[in-house]
Structure 1
Amino acid sequence: PTAVEAMKEGAVDYLPKPVKLNELEALIRDALGPVQIEVKPKAAVAPAKVELPVVEEEELARVEEVIDEATGKVYLPSCQIACPIGEDIQRTNAMIALLPLDVEEAHSQIIKIGDEIYKKNPLFPVCSYICGLCEKECNYKDHTGAVRRKMLKRFISEYYLPYLESKPVLPYPTREKVAVIGGGPGGLMCAYMLGKMGYKVTILESSSWLGGALRYIPQYRLPGDVINSTLNSLVRIAHIEVRFGIEMGKNGNTLGNLDGEGYQTVFIATGTHAPRPLTLERETVVGADLDGVISGLYLLYDMNQGKIPAQLYRQLFRHKKVIVVGGGNVAFDVARSAQRLGGDVTLVCLESANKSSKDGIPADVEEVEGAIEE
C-alpha cells in the first residue's frame, strides 16, 4: 500500500496533525488492516535511493504544446481542472507515494516535492488547511473515496515550512515597478508571480498585516503561525516591498501619485471586506440594525485579531440563545465559535441538508460534520 492509497477517504478518516515520517509505515498498516508483508532483517535491506525527476516549467509547457498539436486537445485530470491555479496534483501525489523508507532520504525528497508545488502555489501550506476543491472532483470519490489531498499537502507542509525560512530567494528584480493594492491572497499571489518574472513589486496594504480574508478564519481551522510563516517567506523570497497603512483615496494616496512614483502598472486586489446585508426580496430585513445583531465577518475578525477580549465575548454568549443565519463556511465558523464561547447555537439556512441536491448546503462536509460533533 502507498501513502496515497492510505489517505483515501475511508482508510484514514482523520488525522489531528501531520503524521511523522517514522510513524507513517505503522499508520498505513493499521489503517488498511491485515496485509501480508514479508519483513526482512534490517541488515539485509539496503534503502533504495529514489531520485524523483523535477520537470522544469518550460519543459512542461513544451509537453503540453506537443499534446495540443497532436490531438487538438489537452487532457487534464478532473482534480487539476478543479484547482483554481491548476496544480499538477496527480504528479505530486505520485511523488509522495514513491518516498523512500530511509528517513533522511525521505526528508530530502519531501523538500523537493514542496519545491515542486511551491513553483505554482506559494500559498500551499495555507491551502493544506482550508482548501479541498480537488477532492470534490476526485475520480475516486464515488468508489473508494477521494484521495485526501489536503492531508497529503499538510504532511508536506509540516517539513516544508521550517525550510521556507531559509529557502533561497529569487533573482533580484530588474524590470519595471508594479504596485499591488491589497495584501490578501489575490494580491500576494500576483506579487509573487510578478516578482518571479523579474518585476519590482510593492504591496500597498491598508491594515497592519498581510493575509486579508485569511485573517477571518478561526485559528482552530488555520493556525496564525502557518499564515505568518507562509506570507513572510513569500515576501522575502520574491523581494516584495510592503507598505502598511496605505488607504487609496485618503491622505493623498491616489493612482495618479503612483504613476508619479514610477509605477508602470497597478493591480487592484482589495477584496470584499464588507459583509452582505441580510435581505428579503431585495429589502433589508427589519431589525437587522438592532442591538445583538452582528455580522459574522465582524465577529470572526474581532476574535481572531484580539480586538475584543475572549473573556468579554464569553460573557456576551454564555448561556444565551444564538441564531446564525447562513449555510456557508463562514456561517459554520461563526456557529462553532459562538458555541465555544458558551452560546446555545442554532444555525438556520435556506439550503437543503442533502448536499447532493441542487439546493444543497454550500459548506464543506468537514465543516458540517465538525459543527454537528460540537
Structure 2
Amino acid sequence: MKTVQEIVMQQTFSRDDLVVLLNTEGEERTQLFSVAAARKEDVVGRKVFFRGLIEFSNICSKDCLYCGIRKSNDKVVRYDATDEEILEACRFAWQNRFGSVVLQSGELSSPVFVERVDGLLKAIKKLSNGELGITLSCGEQSRETYRRWFESGAHRYLLRIESSTPELYAKIHPNNDHHSFEKRLNCLSLLKECGYQVGTGVMIGLPFQTLENLADDLLFLKKIDVDMVGMGPYIEHEETPLYEHRYLLKSKQERFDLALKMVAALRLLLPDINIAAATALQAIDPAGREKALKIGANVIMPNLTPCSYRKEYQLYEDKPCLDEDADLCKNCLEARIELAGSEIGYGEWGDSRHFFSRGNRPK
C-alpha cells in the first residue's frame, strides 16, 4: 500500500489514492497541506482574485432538499434587487478594482428573467468600460440563453453539481424532471460549448455521503475538465427536508477539516484551475477562508449584496458577513488575505489558467 508521501508526489491519482488523502490525520494531513500549498504557489502563484458577489434575487423555481431558499420554504422573505442596486454594487467593485463580479440568483428561466440578466450584463460592461469580468451563477438554462448571455458579456459560469454520484444526487433533490441529474450534466456541457470558463462544485459532508463519493467527485471534476471549482462543507438548514437526517452528519469541525482536505487534494489533481475559498468555511471557523487559501484556494468572494437583503439569502444556517457593508467586507478580506501570506490581484480578471491551457485565447 502506498504511503501519503508517495501519493502526494504523483501527477495522477486513483480513487484509492484520493480516499487515502481524504483520510489523512496529524502529520500526514500536514504533509498533504504542505505539498498542495507548494503546488499552488508553483503553478498559479500567490495571488488571490476577488469576485464581488451580488446575490440579486432569492426567488427560485427549484425545491432542492438541502437549500434554505428552496421554493417550498414559505418562511423566506423573497426579494429581487433592483437593477440600480445591482449596478451600484458593480460600480463599487469596479471603482475598488475587484476585477470581477459574480451575479448569483435562485434558478429561474422565464423570458423576463433571461431578458433582465442580458440587460444587466450589457449595463455592467458599459459602466465599467468593459473592465469588469463577469461570472454568472443563475442555474440551468437553454443553449440559446447561455449563448446570448455569453455574447452580452458573461465569460464564466458556475453551476454546482453538488454530488456527482447519481444515487446521492437523487437523495438530496426531489424526484422529478425539474431536478434531473442528467440535465445538470448536459448544462455543464452546453456551457463549455458556448465558450464559458466553466465552474462547478460539490457539498462536503452530506448525509449518506462516503469518502468514496467525494473521491469520485474529485475525479468527476477532472473528467469534465472543469476550469474553476467552488465547494465547501455542507451546513444544515432547519427549514429543509434534509435537516431530518442531521443525525447522520459528522460534526461541523469534521466537515470543515474534510473540506480543507478536498481543497488540497483538488489542487494536486488539477493544479492550474481556480479554486474558491468558500464562505461556508467561515461559517464554521472564523479563519476558515484563510486556511483554504493557504493550502490551495486562490479565489475569494467579498459579498456586495445590499445588506438589507443578505439575511434572506441563507442557503444554510450561520452564514457569515450578513451585516458588513461592502467597504467593511473589503477591508476585512484584505487583512485576511495578507494573514494567509497571499496578495490580491487587484484589477485583474484572474481567469483560469486551465481554460487557456486548452488553447483558448484571452479576451
TM-score, normalised via structure 1 length: 0.23
Looking at CA atoms only, which structure, 1 or 2, has the larger radius of gyration?
Answer: 1
Q: Which has the higher relative contact order, 1 or 2, with Cα contacts under 8 A spaced 6 or more apart?
A: 2
TM-score, normalised via structure 2 length: 0.24
